[in-house]
Structure 1
Amino acid sequence: MTPLPLAALAQPAPSDRPVRVVVPLAAGSTVDAVARAIAPGLGRATGHPIVVENVVGAGGIPGTTQVVKAARDGLTLGMISSNHVINPGIYKSIPYDTLRDITPIAVLATVPLVLVVNPKLPVKNVAELLAYAKAHPGTLNYGSAGNGSTLHLAGELMIAETGIDMRHVPYRGTGPLVTDLMGGQVQLGFVSISQVAPQIKAGGLRALALSTPTRSPALPDVPTMAQAGAPRYSFDAWIALVGPAGLPKATVDGYAAAVKTAMDSPEARAAIAGQGLMVLDKGPDTAPAFFQSELAKHQALVKQSGATLD
């Protein structure tokens, strides 16, 4: 394969220099899994070795800071998630501008969330859940992976769209949340499909609906929230590839083409299926507008939730 033209940079980079892809989340996360799955294909397409590096902490801010402060030589990129547009509302200050200090390259995939309930809750679908919540206001607890997390905001959107009254219970990560969902300490929550598919299959949790506008092949029998009784509900978590602000257009276009090639690799297809993701095809022409709209939507939800982390 002929490498794509990434060397049209301010200072052309030798092809033996590695490209560093910073993942501002923990190893083993969905974002990390996608980054590592596309790395081989990205390397083949660009002719550069690809090194995935996890820089964790503070909702992804330290890792993203390294990306936005990197040289504009195309050798440092970031694989970010919806946290990027949530953080400005839940932290008093962050050391970069969410929109101005990045160059969007591609929005790779959306992460469908599934609304699950403890099977002891006497509801079998969203309509029954809404009826139960309205008959028992303030008695339902919904869990999340933490204040201001995508799982928290997915629940807040449900409250906003349906008018029900639920209490939020934040956990320190998805693992403890799933444990307490199965134990009945919290009755419901939105969780990524990959985190609860085994529990759903085994009957430990009941799946009611998906957060996304379309159904997922990973759970083909589970309707969307819109189909199940909340017609205006739509919430997508997502994964995107970005660079520091000011990347040359030739570099951005080269990476966008390389990502498309890499996403079609066997490694990427397997990771996408395994994580229950759905591919998005938003390149450098449409990604900036997507980021702007997602920032506005998530900031409104953060304000409604009152979430803050410092």
Structure 2
Amino acid sequence: MNPILSRRATLALIAASCSLPTWSQNVPDKPLRVILPIGAGSGVDTIARAGTQALTKALGGQPVVIENLPGAGGITGASALAKAAPDGLTIGLVSNNHVINPSVFKKLPYDTLGDFTPISVMGATPFVLVVNPNKVAAHNVKELIALLKAKPDAYNYASSGNGTVIHLAGEMFVDEAQVKIRHIPYKGTGPMVTDLIGGQVEMGVVALPAVQAHLKSGALRAIGLCGNVRTPAAPDIPTIAEQGLPNYNIEGWFAVIGPAKLPADQVKRIHDAFVAAYASPEVKEAMAKQGNVINPTTPEAAVQYFRTEMARYAVLAKKSGITLD
């Protein structure tokens, strides 16, 4: 090749390469901290950890660090997120509890809407009412209601904490079934499931991904799904609605949020990374096995969804009479 042409070709290649986007130039040199205001072993925890590797890839190699900060129905973790710098290095993955708390706590150390930047409501996970098979003879809703009415106040139901969506799901069942069951709150899903298996409490509502293995082993028995449709992840478990309580319908959702005043470019970067990560084949397969439905919203739709859900749970919390200091 002509030396002059060769030199020109080389210079053209260098110029072209300089114009291409380079991930290494845009990837933050610090990890993305993802705060989960719930304990390890919960449904949202399972969902978050299933997507960690794919999220790192979608972020161009930026490491992702999951940090569980449970306590006070999610207030501990949300408070930490509210205080974080809006630099795109700290976000949170929250559940229904985030919008329930204003209705059950007399005072919060933050503004549920004003102190955060909604990025996306990613999807939903099914809840299931389970019982300890050694403590509860019932196999379905009809048998369970008959058992509870025959022995009022003789049984306990567990929740992941006072005022949580799991607590409200239990209260909703009590109201719809017109039965009496004592509520036993735990500090997170992990301890709750441990005592359900151990027989310290007889029943409880829990996210399906958190108990799938225990349902398969027989350590726990499913009475019914809490949503209004069955899930392909557990097609043999009927819904509570189809078993005689048609108005019973509650499921868990999970959303990505950041601190207030998160710049638009960071919102887009994080939103797009989560969408890509949870659309990857390996994460889609994991979500399908868990029964989760992934349907990411835009940041704008997430804002409106938070407002709608806050209003919905305010009515339910008032009806249940749940008030916490």
Q: Residue 98 of structure 2 corresponds to which residue in structure 1?
A: 84
Q: Residue 193 of structure 2 corresponds to which residue in structure 1?
A: 178
Q: Residue 316 of structure 2 corresponds to which residue in structure 1?
A: 301
Q: Residue 45 of structure 2 corresponds to which residue in structure 1?
A: 32
C-alpha deviation, 1:259, in angstroms: 1.6
Q: Residue 100 of structure 1 corresponds to which residue in structure 2?
A: 114
Partners in 1 of 2:309 and 2:255 — Cα distance?
Answer: 12
Partners in 1 of 2:271 and 2:252 — Cα distance?
Answer: 20
SS of the residue 1:107 aligns to: strand
Preserved contact between residue 21 and residue 50 of structure 1 (Cα < 8 Å): no
Preserved contact between residue 161 and residue 233 of structure 1 (Cα < 8 Å): yes
Alignment gaps of 5+ in structure 1:
6-12
Q: Residue 276 of structure 2 corresponds to which residue in structure 1?
A: 261
Alignment gaps of 5+ in structure 2:
1-19
Closer, same or farther in 2 for the Cα pair 1:195/1:39, shift >3 Å? Answer: closer
- Of residues 288, 292, 303, the one that matches 2:307 is 292
SS of the residue 2:295 aligns to: strand
Partners in 1 of 2:51 and 2:147 — Cα distance?
Answer: 44
**TM-score, normalised via structure 1 length:** 0.83
Preserved contact between residue 4 and residue 258 of structure 1 (Cα < 8 Å): no
Equivalent position amino acid for 1:84 in 2:
H
**TM-score, normalised via structure 2 length:** 0.79
Partners in 2 of 1:172 and 1:246 — Cα distance?
Answer: 31
Q: Residue 63 of structure 1 corresponds to which residue in structure 2?
A: 77
Preserved contact between residue 146 and residue 170 of structure 1 (Cα < 8 Å): yes
C-alpha deviation, 1:66, in angstroms: 3.1
Q: Residue 8 of structure 2 corresponds to which residue in structure 1?
A: none
Partners in 1 of 2:299 and 2:28 — Cα distance?
Answer: 26
Equivalent position amino acid for 2:81 in 1:
V
C-alpha deviation, 1:114, in angstroms: 1.1
SS of the residue 2:107 aligns to: coil
Given the alignment of the two structures, is residue 15 of structure 1 paired with residue 37 of structure 2, yes or no? no
Q: Residue 11 of structure 2 corresponds to which residue in structure 1?
A: none
Given the alignment of the two structures, is residue 117 of structure 1 paired with residue 131 of structure 2, yes or no? yes
Equivalent position amino acid for 1:63 in 2:
G
* Aligned positions, number: 302
Q: Residue 260 of structure 2 corresponds to which residue in structure 1?
A: 245
Closer, same or farther in 2 for the Cα pair 1:16/1:191, shift >3 Å? Answer: closer
Closer, same or farther in 2 for the Cα pair 1:251/1:113, shift >3 Å? Answer: same
Preserved contact between residue 41 and residue 189 of structure 2 (Cα < 8 Å): no
Closer, same or farther in 2 for the Cα pair 1:194/1:40, shift >3 Å? Answer: closer
Point out the structure with max Rg over C-alpha.
Answer: 2
SS of the residue 1:110 aligns to: strand
Q: Which moves more between the two structures, 100-109 or 198-207?
A: 198-207
Q: What's the % identity of the aligned pairs?
A: 46
Within 5 Å, which residues of 2 pair with 1:128-143? 128-143=143-158
Per-residue deviation, residues 40-88 of structure 1 (Å, max 9, x unmatched): 3334334361432415143332332232233333332211222212333
Preserved contact between residue 4 and residue 46 of structure 1 (Cα < 8 Å): no
Partners in 1 of 2:22 and 2:86 — Cα distance?
Answer: 18
